[in-house]
Amino acid sequence: MSTARQTTHSIRNAHKDVQETRGSKRTGPLSDAEKATRALANEARQKTKAALNADIDDFFAHRDETIHDLALKHGKKEDFDAVIHELSEKSKAAGHNFKLPELQKRADAFLLAGVSEEEKARLIATLIEHRKLSTKGLRATNVGSAVDSRCVASNIQDEFLNLYERTGIRAFAFFSCGSLDDAFLLTFAGSGDAAAFCVEVLKMPAVDILRLFETWSLTREKNLPQRDDTRSVRKQITAAMDAGLRELTGNDTARMSYKHFKVDVSLAWKVKLVGWPEKVTFQNPSRINNVEVLRRLRDDLRAGLIYWEALTLDEARSVHAEVEAIRAANNGQAEPRRPRADIGGKHISVGCRENNDGNSEDDSDHDDYHLIWASFCKTYSG
């Protein structure tokens, strides 16, 4: 039997050291006075927690303004970093290699000379693009790609081993190149004799499965070409839209809605879609029949020209006010109801439909129809 202070993994490995936690010295039940004291303490903690959550919400609501004010106060402005990056790139292009203190002096002189807001925005955009390139940009050579891959695989292996030592969680991963020209060797990362799973369950050594994975990886694009027909491109757009929305919101259930975008997406998740082409009607891809327009939307999504972005506090208030105005104009509904097809004319019931001569059916036939219908409903309802 395991004790309250022991995990199943620590019991199975009694010879290993355990990260001790602070234990309670109490052995008997609480008295009424202690229960009352703890209840008051718990109430105080709840109030403190609520106040902390309120302050955190207020901070995130004014995060951009706060960060901007702090940057101005302490001289850590983003435009200063952008100027340093610009000067560094220009010095490298000219064959110089200035140190950071020299670049900082030149940046101070550059800013003191006066820089327009448009130029600052351009420099900041260049810096942001450089940071994205450093994180997700393609490696320039196969050697650099191989070094990057080996480092990441090694780090994952270390994390797997450490996780197993702490918690007993087993894991394994396969790493393979995506092209014959890649200078990357097959790699298997695993912990806790996870490789035995391949032999005992899949009936194959891990190295054989790794080779099969390599074969699949090298022939992936050859065997499964990317189709560009209307149906396939629509699916790609839908998948890209949902993936971007879920990545930004951190919710795996978030889905795109074109018809009720303001309510179900923009207002619900406090996000907006940036970069949708002006000449393309904002609607579900299933309603777009021009394959060239669909391909453009897909390519823009892949290139990052169409992307999701969180709403600012003012934008969220504006969307909420707009939705409330629409609801007030439509009897509490966020979207106006579709008008009836026979609006403006007389609604004709089934029993009073006119015959081919233009005259309405006589009353006797009309009564017989209702008697037959009533008898039918009575027969099949009971």
Per the listing, tokens 């009073």 go with 352
Q: Bridge partners of 271?
A: 310
- Note if the pTM is more than 0.75: no
Cα atoms found within 13 Å of the Cα of residue 333, Cβ hemisphere only: 7
Structure-token pair, residue 24: 């309670």
Cα–Cα distance between 82 and 325 in angstroms, integer?
42
Cα–Cα distance between 290 and 288 in angstroms, integer?
6
CATH 3.90.1460 fits 230-329, yes or no: yes
pLDDT given at position 364: 46
pLDDT given at position 258: 92
Walk along the chain (382 residues) and give the pLDDT tens digit of each residue.
444 456 777 777 777 777 766 666 666 788 888 888 989 999 999 999 999 988 888 877 777 676 666 666 665 565 667 777 777 777 777 777 777 777 777 776 666 566 677 777 777 787 777 777 777 777 777 777 888 889 999 999 999 999 998 888 999 999 988 877 777 888 899 988 888 999 999 999 999 999 999 888 888 765 555 567 888 899 999 999 999 999 999 888 899 999 889 888 999 999 999 999 988 999 999 999 988 899 999 999 988 999 999 999 999 999 999 888 888 877 666 665 566 666 666 665 555 444 444 444 444 444 555 555 555 555 544 4
Supply angle C-alpha 207, 209, 212, rounded to 5.
115
Ordered by start, the domain boundaries in the chain are 64-136, 142-223, 230-329
Coil, strand or helix at 272: strand
Coil, strand or helix at 163: helix
pLDDT given at position 118: 77
Chain center to CA of 378: 55
Which residue from 212, 205, 194 is spatially nearest to 157, judged by alpha carbons? 194
Cα atoms found within 13 Å of the Cα of residue 307, Cβ hemisphere only: 8
